[in-house]
Amino acid sequence: MSKNKETAPISRNKLLRVAGVGWMFDAMDVGILSFVIAALAVDWQLTSSQMGWIGSINSIGMAVGALVFGVFADKVGRKQIFMWTLIIFSVASGLSAITTTFAVFLILRFFVGMGLGGELPVASTLVSESVEAKERGKVVVLLESFWAGGWLLAAVISYFVIPADFWPIEGWRVALLLTAIPALYAVYIRIHLPDSPQFTAKESAKQRTIMQNIAGVWERKYSRSTLMLWILWFTVVFSYYGMFLWLPSVMVGKGFDLISSFKYVLIMTLAQLPGYFTAAWFIERLGRKFVLITYLVGTAASAFVFGNADSTVVLLASGILLSFFNLGAWGALYAYTPEQYPMVIRGTGAGMAAAVGRIGGIFGPLLVGYLLNAGYEIGFIFAIFCVSILIGAGAVLFLGKETKQTELE
């Protein structure tokens, strides 16, 4: 009976809802961290470099998690890894709320990152393998749209909770305690979410060794796609975490108080939803490459204007466009990545690409902290991210192949 339940088909909408809520919790944790960093800078008297390390240690964990859990998803199944990564990041994030030292906080954020880094590519692979080709891209982008919901939830929690007085507990600790709740959701996933029908039907996939899977992504047939994905993931994650983890702090640096900066970031975050929905609409009509290149170029232009904005109106407008284009591109990226590989190495390929991306996520926040300490202007820093994003768009243009409505191997 249990085996039948494990492999029973699931409707598209239920699949999207069950996996999407897990995805939303991921985003809530990342989003809250960006606000917590700004609050910790005040409470713990952190330097810009220390603030950068909080974001970077998270990305180090995500790089390790994406690689390790991506490989194991091809061995034990997508669903099992999805559940365990959710538990790991939730418990570690909740524990980070009660730490009193910067060093222990960093250690716990590493484990949070491991869970987050493993869950995202595995969840997108699971959904990608469970949906028909004609709507696969749209559904994966809609899965990624739950990220905006998580960021909105994070922004609301941060706006009302972090500045509040919960004496003797600081508001940021209460916010982090709320991020432990998703661990309970793993129980719901265990009951209601079947594993990938492709994985459960393919016994030969489970007999391959881990090293065979890792080597497989560089076989001649897939090497061009792997190179393209690694460049794309590195440049996108490098710029995303460099820009978005620092958004509240950048707003403070431009003269806004902490609460006002939270409010403006909340407004910018709302623009993520139309970014996802338009990308979902275009991706099955105009293709993955068109959406990725268009939205990445839009992100680069918005980043340049945001970094050089000298008025509230320009800052807010460019920030809204930055959220719109960047998160639309993220949706297309998660739809595009699993489509590059056959089932037997799909989790490994997606996980390795995400791991390379997380390396970029290590350097992005650190670079911002270092350059701010060295006296560089925000405009110069965001110009670097602008160039990075354009390199990623170029990789898709010259190395990418169109996978719109193609059947997965």
408, part of any domain:
no
pLDDT lower than 70: segments of the chain:
1-10, 200-208, 248, 257-259, 262
**Cα→Cα distances 234→144, 167, 192, 262, Å:** 18, 42, 34, 28
d(CA 96, CA 44): 14
Let me know if residue 102 belongs to a domain: yes
Q: Tokens 């897939």: give the residue.
A: 222
Say if 201 falls within a structural domain.
no
Closest to 368 in 3D by CA, of 28, 43, 59 = 59
Q: Is 334 in contact with 209 (CB distance < 8 Å)? A: no
Residue 179, both tokens: 């991020």
Tokens of 90: 């939730």
Q: Is residue 6 part of a domain?
A: yes
What is the rounded (10 degree) CA torsion for 130, 134, 138, 140? 20
The residue written with tokens 């820093």 in the block is: 381
Distance CA 43, CA 342 (A): 49
198 in any annotated domain? no
pLDDT value, residue 3:
45
Residue 199 lies in a domain: no
Return the pLDDT at 289.
Answer: 97
Q: 153: domain CATH number?
A: 1.20.1250.20
What is the DSSP secondary structure assignment for residue 338, as one 8-state letter? G
The range of the structural domain enclosing residue 44 comes to 2-190+208-399
**pLDDT on residue 218:** 93
Give the count of domains, the chain: 1
Write down the pLDDT at residue 2.
41
pLDDT at 202: 62
Side chain identity at 69, as an amino acid letter? F
- Angle at Cα 228 formed by Cα 327 and Cα 113, nearest 5°? 50
Q: Is residue 197, in this structure, part of any structural domain at all?
A: no
The answer to whether residue 347 sits within a structural domain is: yes
pLDDT at res. 378: 85
Cα–Cα distance for residue pair 35/30, rounded to 1 Å: 9
